[in-house]
Structures are given as C-alpha cells and as structure tokens.
Amino acid sequence: VQINLPKGPTLPETTLEWHIPRWSNTIERDRARPYFIAYAAAMALQFLQQATTLIRAGHTQVYENFDVPDQAIGCGFHEAVRGVLSHHLVIQDKKIANYHPYPPTPWNASPRDHYGTPGPYEDAVQGQPIFEENGPDTFKGVDIMRTVRSFDPCLPCGVHMYLGNGKTLTTHHTPTYGATP
C-alpha cells in the first residue's frame, strides 16, 4: 500500500509504503498502526476534497428520502481498526424490533471453535517466547499483554492468565506510567 501525504504547514510531502509482513506477530501488528493512521489521514483528505468539489457543484443533499418498510432484516459491515464491525437489524411494524452490533473484540477474543481451532488472541500467544525475567511468583504476563494489546489496546486490562496449580493472574490497568494500581 502506497500512501501519499501532501505537504503540510510544518512537514514536507511524504510517501509511505507498507508491505504485507512475512510474519504475523506482535511487532508487525504494532508497526502497522502508524501506517493505518497515515492511510486514514490520506483518505480523509481525499474525501474532503471530493466533498468540496460536490458542494461547489451545487450537490448539497446529504440524505435520500427513505420509507421504512413494514418488515425487513438487514446487516451492515465496516472494517474498523481492530477488525470487522457489523450491525444486524430486524424491523417489524415499521419499528426496530431487534438490533445487535457485533464489535471486533468478541470475534478476536473468541474461544476455540467446535473443531478446536483457537481464536486469534489464543493462537497468537501459543508458542510465544517469554522474555519477562520475573520468576513464577512475580510473573506479570508482560509479553502476553503486549501480544493481546497489539490486537486491541484496551483489552489487556481484562486479561486473566491461568498459571497452573490453581493460580490465576489478573492484569490491571495502570493509568499513568510508573503508578501502581
């Protein structure tokens, strides 16, 4: 993916190029985030330019008239930063009878399926080397949290790790670096 960013007030014109990584791992998922921000900025600029062109041409209508059907079933999908976001809707008697948004996190954090295939988080941490130098009694799960965070920055605050022998470690959110929970 080639991303062309125009010259800004303090930055020169910049071209970035992202290539599909050889491996899917924590570092590559984290490295992809800044490229996505640059891509989103370039797309926002393009959409703004298109909107400006349409407005100057007199095309200012921002909606279409729509008659709500008596009954309907619909769904919509959008690729969000963390994965696919979908919305599912049932209309009865011209009213919303049932609505479910399905955000990416439940899909990413899904348990093993009926074939025994692990979900993406579990799959990503299996076989991962542990670089943490704490012993078993002070294990914090930093490497595991980094991997989960590479999918979803907010989720490590709710990670529970089974350490064996009936011991579970619950991670905690630290609001500022260096503070203790």
Shared domain for 101 and 124, answered yes or no, is no
Shared domain for 52 and 77, answered yes or no, is no
Please give the model's pTM, rounded to 2 decimal places: 0.55
Domain assignment present for 176: no
CA-nearest of 170, 22, 155 to 82 is 155
Shared domain for 125 and 165, answered yes or no, is yes
Shared domain for 96 and 123, answered yes or no, is no
- Give me the mean pLDDT over the 57-76 stretch: 94
With 90 as the cut, is the pLDDT of residue 60 above it? yes
Domain assignment present for 66: no
Between 174 and 177, the higher pLDDT residue: 174
Q: What are 82's two structure tokens?
A: 């963390």
Q: What phi and psi, each to the nearest 5 degrees, are found at residue 165?
A: 50, 35
With 60 as the cut, is the pLDDT of residue 173 above it? no
Helix runs in 66-141, H state only: 104-108, 120-125
Domain assignment present for 63: no
Strands in 6-130 per DSSP E: 14-17, 71-80, 83-92, 95-102
The domain containing residue 117 runs over which residues? 109-170
Confidence class of residue 154 from pLDDT cuts 50, 70 and 90? low
What distance in Å separates the CA atoms of residue 102 and residue 114, rounded to the nearest whole number?
20
Highest mean pLDDT, choosing among 66-75, 115-124, 165-174: 66-75
What distance in Å separates the CA atoms of residue 31 and residue 53, rounded to the nearest whole number?
35
Q: How many domains does the chain have?
A: 3
